[in-house]
Every structure is written in C-alpha cells, then in structure tokens.
Structure 1
Amino acid sequence: MWMGIDLGTQSVRAVVASDRGEILGSGSAPLAGRRDGVRHEQQPPDWWTAVCAATRQALRDAPAPRALAICSTSGTVLLADRTGRPLTPGLMYDDGRARTEAVRARTPPAWALPKVMWLLREYGAGGDGVRVMHQADLIVARLAGHPLATDSSHALKTGYDLERDAWPHQRFEQLGLPDGLFPEVVRPGRRIGEVGRAAAEETGIPAGTLVVAGMTDGCAAQLASGSLAVGSWNSVLGTTLVLKGVTASPLVDRTGVVYNHRAPDGSWLPGGASGVGGGALTAAFPGADPARLDTLAPDHEPTAVLAYPLAARGERFPFLAPDATGFLIGEPASDAEHWAALLTGVGLVERLCLDYLDLLGAPLHGPLTLTGGAVRSDHWNRLRADILGRPVHIPQHSEPALGMAVLAAYGARATATVQEAAARMVRIRHVLRPDPARTARHTEPYLKLVDELERRGWLPARVAAHARTRTEHP
C-alpha cells in the first residue's frame, strides 16, 4: 500500500493506493487563505491541521501504507526556524507582492526566490537558524519531528540549479541572501525519513512509515497521468492550467515562460503554468451547479463572446504579462452563453500553450493526457479535444495524490523505474477523439484570441505569428 498527499490551493487530499492503482482509501480537508489584490497567503499551521484530517479519513478503512510522498503548489514558500516552526505566513504560488525582488532576482514574480527575499525584508527574519521551507517541507518536517531535505522539484523556483544539482551560492551572495538559509536538496523519490510517533498519533499514519521526497503538484499530476515517455504531455486543469511534458534534454526558453523540472529517473519535465482555469468559472458563478450549466453550454458553442478567463491578475504561460487581466469581448445573452465562453476560452489558451511549446521545438508526438478537477466534466473534456484537434486520454484516477503514491512506490524500490511504477498503477479510462467539423468551427475564435492578445501587447509577435502559421498548416 502506498500513500500520496496533495497540498492544494483549496484543500488537502490523501489517498491510499494498492500496487495495481486501486484507491482503497481517500480523504480530504478544506483550506482557506487570504486574498487581497495581489496578496495570497495561507497560515502554515492550517496545512498540518488539514493533513491530519485528510490522512485519518483516508486510513479509516484502508490498510497502512508502506511509504508516502507529498506534493504541493509550486512556488509556495515560507520562512521557519531551525526546528521547522513557521516564522511567516505561507506566500502562495500566485502571490504578487515580490515584484521588485523579482526584477533583482531576474525571475517571474510567481517564483519562490523573490518571495523569499520579500519575506526576509518584510519580517526581518534574517538571523541564524532561519531556513526556507516549501509548502510540502513543512508537512514532511511535522511528520518526521524535525526538518528533512527538500526535493529538487519544489526547490526549482527557489533558484536551485537542476543541471548542476546545486544551489547557486554565488548568485545568492550577490542578492544578499545569507548562508544556511536554503535546505539540503535531493532528487524526487529519494528516501528522506520516517513518520515519528507524535505525528503518528495526530495523522493515523503508523510510526516508521517511510517518507519519500516528493514533487510539485503539476509534476505529481503528470505521474498520475502515466505520461512519462518522451513526447508525451499532461494538461492539468483545476483552479489554473498547467502543461508538462517529457523531453530527453531541457527545453530552452530564455523568456522564462517554460521551465524544466527533473524527473526521478533523470529525464526532463518542461512545462508552464497559466493563470486561466476553473478559478475564473468559480469567480464568475459562485455557488452555481457546473453540471447544469454544462448541459446548456453546447447550444452556444462556439459562442460569439470571446473570453480570456484568468483566475487572478497576471499571466505566466504562454506569455509573461504581470498586469494581464481576464476579459470578455461581447455581451453574453445568458449565463449559459457566459459559461460556454469561459469553457471555450480555457481550451483556446490551452491550444496556444501547445503552439508555444511547438515554437520552442518541444516534441509533441506522444499522447496528451487530461488530469485535474476539470476532467469530472465530460462536456469540457470533449470540448477541449475538439478545440485542440487531437485525441486526449482520460485516466481512471487522475489526482496528484495518486501521483505521489506512484512516487512512494518507486522510492521504496518496489519498482526499478518510476515509469514502471506508473505503468502498473495508472489506468486510462477512455480516449476522446476530436470531431473535425467542430475543430474547424473553433479556428476563427482561436485566431481572434491570438489577435486580441497581440493587440494588447501581451503576446509577442513571433508567438502570434507561429500560432497563425500552425493553424494554417497543422
């Protein structure tokens, strides 16, 4: 039995999975945070409380796991003391207050490194013993009873050099970051500790359970999708949209829109994170019944209303535009048409992301798998397949927590490779193939969106030109 824990934006999810990928136990607990303009933070103790509730629920009727791994939101960070006690709030992945620091660090504002610099300045927590912790690191420390090594996946946006497998100490010195601030780093899937007795009493996870170094939530979803062969891609659609693929070497993007994680086996996982997604639907229709609106949407597709459905200010993929905001061009005649425009808008941005990856020379010949909360909508799955004009694979279970169960199995050396573990534990539910006629109907809205993004100065001309060329000559 293997346990995976996913620290998300709105909840914590825990699953217990068998060697064949059967989910034998699951649990979840909500998370709340503070959003105010560009501010988005959560209280780290709330993460632990939610983990305890989720794991106890997951283990209520399930056998005890042999090992576990944890994923969390990429770029979420805090400062803690040497014992792992939080000294600051957790700055979430999309907190935008570190813009000045991002200019100095030469990274996007959403990355963790400028947030670390902002926290040091804002809280004055620069004394001896202060250490950087990512969201998953805090939970790992609570499970073991003391801080453990972080993984290179979470460390990437804090400045870790994946090609050299080292922190860039000279760069940190130039930025005025003190020695000893950053934790030890290991490759995902490495055994890093065990669950202690105190944590066992709170979580229900038996003392001595092996703790394996995890990955970010986007990478975890990729493991859960089974998309681990070169040329395969996974599109994770939840609150926001994340696309990750597999390449033999890093994908070079000097703009920083696409970045590269390192897989446990040493291959590369390039990808990017957009701000569009289900969060925009929730904001536009709080408390609505998505299933009811899904039944009404097809009568309005393709809609005359053009939407760029950003969940919050700023865009990171397929272009960098810190001041970008969501928009609607045209007036929806009904809630159903508005809903259809938002669903379509996400699919159009997803298509633009794939066009951008093609511009960078990424191999796109493998299967495209859809995961994330949005796959619960059969209508949205089919709409996305039609907009993209390519088959999409839908796994039986697609949550990041399962991806961490896969990684736990690999880390405990139940399999020789993580790809072998995924092949054993991941099942594809069905494959959706696009309708060419419906794909053709979405060409005009796609080109209109490309034109509008370029007109606003957000989408670079060369990216827009490539999207148009690829549309004409797919």
Structure 2
Amino acid sequence: MSVWIGIDLGTQSVRALAVTGDGRVLGTGSRPLTSHRDGPRHEQDPEQWWRELAAATREALRDLPAGERVEGVAVDATSGTVLLTDGSGRALTPALMYDDRRADAGRVNELGSHVWERLGYRRMQPNWGLPKLLWLLPDAPAGARLAHQSDFVNRRLAGHEVATDLSNALKTGVDLIEERWPLEVFDALGVPAGLLPEVVRPGTRLGTVCAAAAEETGIPAGTPVIAGTTDGCAAQLGAGAQRVGSWNSVLGTTLVLKGVTKELIHDPLGVVYSHRAPDGSWLPGGASSTGAGVLSRELPGRDLDALSADAAARFGPDRTRDGRAQRPGHTPGAGWPVTYPLVSRGERFPFAAPDAEPFTLGTPADDVERYAAILLGAAFVERLCFDYLDLLGAPVDGEIILTGGATRSAYWTQLRADVLNRPVTLRENAEPALGMAVLAGGDPARMIRTRDVVQPSGADLREPYLRFVEELERRGWLDPRAAAHARERTATP
C-alpha cells in the first residue's frame, strides 16, 4: 500500500501525517516550536525547525506497517518567513517570521509598484518577505542565499540546493505570471541575482530524501521530495477547494478565505492577492482581522458549548429575540444585536481600514446575546467577503467548504449557511498536513472525505445584514461601491 507524508511547519508547532491513498491516517507526529518576540521583532531558530520536524516524522512513521511504501513528502510553511543561509544551507541569520515588522516597504513599493500592480495586489506590506530581505542584506556575507522556511528544511531533506516554490516566493516578489524573479526590480533594489533560488510551481519534484536525512527523520531514502506551498494554500488543498469557483472559508481566531479562479483577480483596494496553483490556475484570497478570537476576550471563562446550545434555542431560525415562536410576517434577526468582532485594531479584508474598531449594534441583554451577536457579526463579515469577491469578478458559485475551529459549533455552522443562503460543506479532516500529502502525490478524490453538507434553513437574515453593511459604510471603512454591490446581491432572492 502506498503512503504519502504531509508536513505542516507552522509558527507554534510542526505536524506530520502519514496518509494512505484512501485518506486513512496511519500515523501522526507533532512537536512544539519556540518563538522569540519583542515588539515588532519575531524570530525563530531554523535549526529547531529541522530538529522538531525530524522528531515529528519519526513519530508519524513509528508504527507504519511492514510493506507500506512511502511515495512522497511535501512541506508547507508560514507565508513571508525568510532567512539567509550559506552555500551549504546552514543558517546565517535567525528566521524573520511572517509577522516580523521591523522592515520598511517604502523602497520596495516605490521601485516595484508596476510589477505588484500587474500581479493584482498593488503593494507590499512591511512584514512581507522582500522588505525583510532588504533589511537583512546590509550584514549579509558574500555568497549568502535567500531561503524561505520550507526551503531550509527541503534542502536538508534532499541533501542539496533546492528551488523555492511560487507560493512561498509570492511575498518575496516573484512574478507569478511569468514564473520568474523580476530581476530588473531586484537589480534596482540592490539584491544580487546569485542570492535568489530558482523558482518552480508547487508540486514539482525537488529531489529525493538523502541518506543523512533518512537516518534523522525515518523517511526512507529515495522518497521524492515535492515542492510545497504556504500554510494557507495547504489548508485549501486539504479542504479540497480545487475547482474553479470553489472556496475554503477558515474561521478560527480570524477569518481567511481562499478560492480558485481561471484568471488573475485584480483588486483596486489591494486586500485580495492570488497565489498560483500547481495546474497554473489562480488561488485568490484574503485574511480578515475578525473571528472567534474575540470570544475569549469578551466572554472569558465561559463554557462556549453551553452558550452555543442556549443561543440555538433562543436565536434559532424559527424564534424571535425573546425565544418565542415566530409570528406570521416576523423578520428573522430583526432586533438582534450584532457585533463587528475585530480581534485587533484595524481591518485587512474585505476592506482596508487601519483605524477600524469593534462595535455592537443594539444592546445584548446577557452573555447568550453577546455570544450570538459575535457569531452573527462574523457570519456577516464572511458574507461581505463573498460579496466583495463577486464585485471583483471572482466566481463564487461553487462549493463552499468551512474549516477551522468554528465548525465545532453546529449553531454557528447553521448560522453561516443561513447568512450565505448556500449549502456549506464540512470535511472529516482538512488540516494543512493533509493538503501536503495530497500535493506529494495523493489522489484528492480519495483522500479528502466529506463529513456533512449543511443546508440553509430558510431563515431570511437580509435585514440585519444590510443594517451591518450600512454601519460599516457610515463609519467610512467600507468602500461605497462594495456596499452598493452587497445591497444589490442581497436584494436578489
């Protein structure tokens, strides 16, 4: 029987899965990772990545039955994490993590704006890979090489220099249309061409596991090493959102949407950017600053499962705010409080508003209403994301797959289906490591299993949604064109 190994190299831990062709997980392994934070600084030790990855894969393969054949391994990593190495792959600097904000993007955007505009995202942020590379360059010794997080461990696995993938290279400025580095921009920025690795599409074979790596990781020598993706794209692959028009909505601490389009999406606001898929299609998406992270702040110590059950009883589709059965002609959601659930100051998607702050429309009477207001607001933000994507011309008529911690609440899942007025799909297992097992060569049709499809209940939540949209526009955060398009889509039954 064939087995594929998927590795999710995240911020807090590294996780490895050994998965069969029919989606059965034969083994798992996980190890924690340590960060060093100080204000805008966020670093990790690349050597720890390798040590803990090797421990996680050994654990995942520990009980692999005799006769199982490992067909491939792929690694995903955090987007925008970079470091410098020497010619042998040894780290010369700490890794600057995805949210390290010590760099400045001014020169990058001044000299490369024509490329970033053509690629659809218009501008880079200070925490992206290319600004951080410029921050590292002044102290770089001769012969230094750029490495993304996944490049560092892939080189150890293969035992020789490897190419980087287009997905991890996006925030370092790779031209995703021509699939090459825009050397004219790098020349103007003073980045030596010899510092840059080759670039390939995710899913490309980089080499095979060398003898030294096999001894440390337990992965058999000769196993193909496949170019991976960022963690967000890996989650999308694990969710099975791979057809044009399909979307993966990940709602955990914050909300992240990623979908599939044939053509590159251009966003005048720069809040949506697109990765390149292994088959050459595009993977647009965006990350909101809203999500379930608000619950622990607003309802500390409360039993969220109990609150969910109480909210379902009180705010179900057939109930009024006081919990009584609906009267004929009653508008569901009328009078319900709604919270804009920002986890931190400032919004990134579906609009850019650095000064955005949380607010609540109405006055929750108790913790159940506070809880329900947060869930409803998060569902409205999700709906607004789809409305904005539709405005940009992205196809949004395909399967919507929900993943992330919020799917543990049946009430929240039903509420999201009702707000979207669309069926939503839940997977048995949609973690990034599974996405990497698929990318390593597994068959997604067999590996990815559906747990449930939740149908909308028929509840009409348009009135409170439009109230929410109006408030975002009134505060000057939501672009009037986006607000008008949301109203137009909502008016259509």
Cα distance, 1:253 vs structure 2:
1.9
- Matched with 1:198 is 212
Matched, 1:381 2:413: yes
Compared CA separation, residues 67 and 341, structure 1 to 2 (3 A): same
RMSD over equivalenced CA pairs, Å: 2.7
How many percent of aligned residue pairs carry the same amino acid? 59
- Matched with 1:340 is 372
- Matched with 1:87 is 92
Q: Which deviates further from its counterpart, 387-396 or 190-199?
A: 190-199
Code of the residue aligned with 2:447 in structure 1: it is M
- Matched with 2:489 is 470
Q: Secondary structure at the match of 2:441?
A: helix
Matched, 1:108 2:125: yes
- Matched with 1:417 is none
Q: Secondary structure at the match of 1:66?
A: strand
Matched, 1:461 2:486: no
Cα distance, 1:260 vs structure 2:
1.8
- Matched with 1:47 is 49
- Distance in 1 between residues matched to 2:26 and 2:492, nearest whole Å: 47
- Distance in 2 between residues matched to 1:342 and 1:189, nearest whole Å: 39
- Work out which of the residue numbers 219, 222, 239 in structure 1 matches 2:233: 219
Query: For residues 205-247 of structure 1, what are the alpha-carbon distances to aligned partners after superposition, in whole Å with 9 as ceiling and x for unaligned?
Result: 2222211001112221222222222221121233332212222
- Matched with 1:30 is 32
Cα distance, 1:69 vs structure 2:
0.7
TM-score (norm 2): 0.84
Matched, 1:431 2:438: no
- Matched with 1:11 is 13
Cα distance, 1:264 vs structure 2:
1.1
Compared CA separation, residues 368 and 155, structure 1 to 2 (3 A): same
- Distance in 1 between residues matched to 2:304 and 2:156, nearest whole Å: 37
Compared CA separation, residues 53 and 354, structure 1 to 2 (3 A): same
Contact kept in structure 2, 1:240 and 1:277, CA below 8 Å: yes
Query: For residues 270-325 of structure 1, what are the alpha-carbon distances to aligned partners after superposition, in whole Å with 9 as ceiling and x for unaligned?
Result: 22222323444455566765434433443564684433333344432212234444
- Distance in 2 between residues matched to 1:18 and 1:307, nearest whole Å: 43
What is the aligned length? 458
- The answer for unaligned runs of 5 or more in structure 1 is 411-420
Contact kept in structure 1, 2:16 and 2:56, CA below 8 Å: yes
- Distance in 2 between residues matched to 1:216 and 1:159, nearest whole Å: 15
- Distance in 1 between residues matched to 2:360 and 2:126, nearest whole Å: 25
Q: Secondary structure at the match of 1:214?
A: coil
- Distance in 2 between residues matched to 1:289 and 1:54, nearest whole Å: 32
Cα distance, 1:158 vs structure 2:
1.2
Which structure would you say has the larger Rg? 2
Q: Secondary structure at the match of 2:83?
A: strand
Compared CA separation, residues 365 and 37, structure 1 to 2 (3 A): same
- Distance in 1 between residues matched to 2:473 and 2:212, nearest whole Å: 55
Cα distance, 1:155 vs structure 2:
0.8
Q: Secondary structure at the match of 2:98?
A: coil
Cα distance, 1:149 vs structure 2:
1.0
Equivalent runs, 1:318-329 vs 2, <5 Å: 318-328=350-360
Q: Secondary structure at the match of 2:153?
A: helix
Q: Secondary structure at the match of 1:215?
A: coil
Query: For residues 43-68 of structure 1, what are the alpha-carbon distances to aligned partners after superposition, in whole Å with 9 as ceiling and x for unaligned?
Result: 33333343233222222223562211
- Distance in 1 between residues matched to 2:280 and 2:415, nearest whole Å: 35
Matched, 1:70 2:112: no
- Work out which of the residue numbers 134, 144, 158 in structure 2 matches 1:117: 134
Equivalent runs, 1:6-405 vs 2, <5 Å: 6-35=8-37, 38-63=40-65, 65-101=70-106, 103-104=109-110, 106-120=123-137, 124-284=138-298, 289-299=303-313, 301=315, 304-328=336-360, 332-405=364-437
- Matched with 2:321 is none
Cα distance, 1:37 vs structure 2:
5.1
- The answer for unaligned runs of 5 or more in structure 2 is 113-122, 316-332
Contact kept in structure 1, 2:158 and 2:207, CA below 8 Å: yes
Query: For residues 139-172 of structure 1, what are the alpha-carbon distances to aligned partners after superposition, in whole Å with 9 as ceiling and x for unaligned?
Result: 2123234442111111112111111111011112
Code of the residue aligned with 2:23 in structure 1: it is G
Compared CA separation, residues 99 and 292, structure 1 to 2 (3 A): farther
- Distance in 1 between residues matched to 2:148 and 2:240, nearest whole Å: 25
Q: Secondary structure at the match of 1:277?
A: coil
Compared CA separation, residues 9 and 453, structure 1 to 2 (3 A): farther
